[in-house]
A and B are shown apart, each in its own frame.
Chain A
Amino acid sequence: MTQVTIAKAEAPAAAPRRAVRRLDHRTRSRITAWMLGGITLLFLLYQWLPILTLGLLSFSGPTGGTTFPMNGVSLHWYRELWDASIMNDFKPPLARSFLLALACSATTVVLAVMAAQAVRGRFRGNGLFFYLLLLGIMAPGILVGFGFALLMRLMGIELSWDTTAFVTHVTWTLPFGFLTMLAVFNRFDARLEEAALTLGASRLTTFRRVTLPIVLPGVMGAGLFGFSLSYDEYPRSLFTTGADLTLPLAVMAQLDRQLTPELYAIGTTTTAFSFIAIGIFTFAFWVLRRRVQARKP
């Protein structure tokens, strides 16, 4: 016992001498943490300040302009938005974009799960299939849209938000959902499926009762990608939407005509909408996670 105490007492005596010459690792890692934290904060400000600026200006008074300084604070532009003709212009595009985003979300989920399952099972040319699908992320949107519109015109198919624009959007949202599902299946233990098969479950039952419940959080993620990427898509919509505009197209058109804080109010409203959608998804995700996770004994 005595020997141990002596050894302990001697050890710290040697340490301070070294600390004089160089900063010890604890201090250094604290400085690094502050620096990285600072950079992260700057980045987040850079990301969110523009949106906050728009949001702030949308609350300016009736005589307010589209730049600082704000002339008073009011809900004038939101009231204007609700009553005035401009909102009547925007209501249909809003409804279209919302429906389109929902449809994209559902389609992305189904196709992404199927594509990821196929690649997981390995088939001839599955590497090529992987890269071809990812091309949807790489290809410049405006060209994809333009090329698609040209092709449709050649084939005599009329452009519309719920047909041609929908298909173009899915080529954009699907790769994201696909990558999400691949990542999820990468961590999935295929032996769980084999266990179900040997317990008498058919392949379909195995998918329904074992695979799907376990990968459900990933499925929700794929759905969220499908929704949010389609909801504010501009370049792929530009040439493929036809006469009835989606929300981003309508906003852009309005920007060209006149610029009032009303537009900021629209921007703020749609952002709020996106957040609500994300919030609903996140909540559902959280509920499912809790259902899958172990209950505390």
Chain B
Amino acid sequence: MPEGPLLTQLDLELRGIRKRYGSFTAVDGVSLEVGKGQFVCLLGPSGCGKTTTLRCIAGLEEPDDGDILIGGREVTGDPPWKRDIAMMFQDFALFPHMSVAKQIGFGLEMQGRPRAEIEARVREVLASFEILPLADRRPASLSGGQKQRVALARAMVTEPRILLLDEPIGALDYSLRETVMLELKLLQQRSGISFIWVTHDQNEAFSLGDLVVVMNHARIEQQGPPEEILARPRTPFVAGFVQGNNVFRGKAGAIEAGLLRIVTEVGEFLVPAGAHTAAPGALVSFSVRAERIIDQPDAAVRNRVTGRCTAVEFFGAVRRHVLELADGSLLKYDQFGALAPRFVTGQVVDLGWRAEDAVLHAP
């Protein structure tokens, strides 16, 4: 492993990437820095530009504007085969006419390595991915999980600087995903290869990514460690997209002792103002996580609502109560541990949250 200056070098840098298809803007000024051996998840709804961004990095699409640097080297305009990358596709894109061994050796063959070296390396990779018995099989006779391993082995055999993964486990059975996710995380940590993982599944993004990049409408809404995105959503979109947030909209009032008063349909609330500078009366939004909601708040809790319980959901480790507020909007209240439901459907209850648990969004 190279040490020293390389450690501070970026594996990938995007500077203002823009891509248009006719009048449709797919990627609009995306900038991103990926450090050495980072696991980055591009997260967003379908059509948000995450896959186009990935394809621009791969060189399968040419951005209209902006620069792409891989390992500090400018690659904008270079074809895919001249970039230090590999890509894994959602349905794996295995070559139907090649055996598993041939397929995995393909990248090495393209690098012009000697035959003996290719054979040895392929066997080594087959063994490490535990697919040695599949060496002579064709893709058509493999199961989904086996195909996934072959596709991953094929992409990683050349030890690229960056591995691009487009919804890599989306085609797998749900029960397989958890295991595969852990394996991939461990593999990424061991290999030191940077992973750029595109997904619309926030569970994948938050459990895998060192860096999560939330995209919407061709732009990056927020990027940061998963904890930060969960705890401090920067925009109403992020707060609404990430599960477990209660989003409130209202008019800004005065700031007292660092707390901004916000007037909403369901009452007045105090939210840490931070660097908030908007004039009183401006439309603002804030969010509170469902697990921060307090049942039967005492007098010290200044943000209070009354709601009627409409549904109780059970997610294994979390029991979620959905309550309808005065204006018809819904409030989520999460209870941890497999306890009995706190409320029954139809029950009217008082809830609240501490002012410091609310997060004010950027305008």
Contacts and interface: CB of A to CB of B under 8 A. Distances in A.
Interface of A: 189, 191-192, 194-203, 205, 209-210, 213-214, 291-297
Contacts of B158: 199-200
A293 B141 CA distance: 10
Query: Interface SS of chain A: helix, strand, loop or mixed?
Result: helix
A192 B99 CA distance: 15
Interface string B217-259: 0000000000000000000000000000000000000000000
A210 B137 CA distance: 17
Interface string B134-166: 001111110000000000001100100000100
A192 B92 CA distance: 9
B14 interface: no
A210 B155 CA distance: 16
Contacts of A199: 81, 86, 106-107, 110, 154-155, 158
Interface residues of B, number: 31
A294 B141 contact: yes
A291 B94 CA distance: 16
Interface in B72-127: 79-81, 85-87, 89, 91, 93-97, 99, 106-107, 110-111
Contacts of A189: 93
Contact of A295 (B59, B60, B136, B154): B136
Contact of B79 (A197, A292, A293): A197
Given A194-B89, A205-B110, A214-B96, A295 B80 contact: no
B81 A201 contact: yes
A203 B95 CA distance: 16
Given A199-B154, A214-B96, 4 more contacts: A196-B95, A214-B95, A293-B140, A295-B99
B58 interface: yes
B137 A297 contact: yes
Nearest to B157: A199
A195 B89 contact: yes
Contacts of A210: 95
A293 B138 contact: yes
B138 A295 contact: yes
9 contacts: A194-B89, A197-B60, A198-B164, A199-B158, A200-B158, A201-B81, A291-B97, A293-B140, A297-B141
Nearest to A205: B110
Nearest to A193: B93
B137 A197 contact: no
Contacts of B96: 192, 214, 292, 294
Contacts of A195: 87, 89, 93-95, 154
Contacts of B107: 199-200
B89 A201 contact: no
Contacts of B79: 197, 202-203
B163 to A, nearest CB: 10
Q: Which of B85, B87, B110 has the most CB of A within 10 A?
A: B110
Nearest to B92: A195
Given A195-B95, A200-B158, A294 B81 contact: no
B103 to A, nearest CB: 9
Contact of A198 (B86, B97, B136): B86
Contacts of A209: 106
Contact of B111 (A200, A203, A214, A296): A200
A198 B157 CA distance: 13
Given A197-B60, A197-B81, A201-B106, A292 B97 contact: yes
Contacts of A196: 95, 106
A209 B106 CA distance: 10
A295 B101 CA distance: 14
A129 to B, nearest CB: 21
B87 A213 contact: no
Given A294-B138, A294-B139, A295-B137, A194 B81 contact: no
B141 A296 contact: yes
Contacts of B155: 198-199
A86 to B, nearest CB: 49
Contact of B91 (A191, A214, A293, A294): A191
A293 B85 CA distance: 30
A151 to B, nearest CB: 41
B206 to A, nearest CB: 27
Nearest to B139: A294
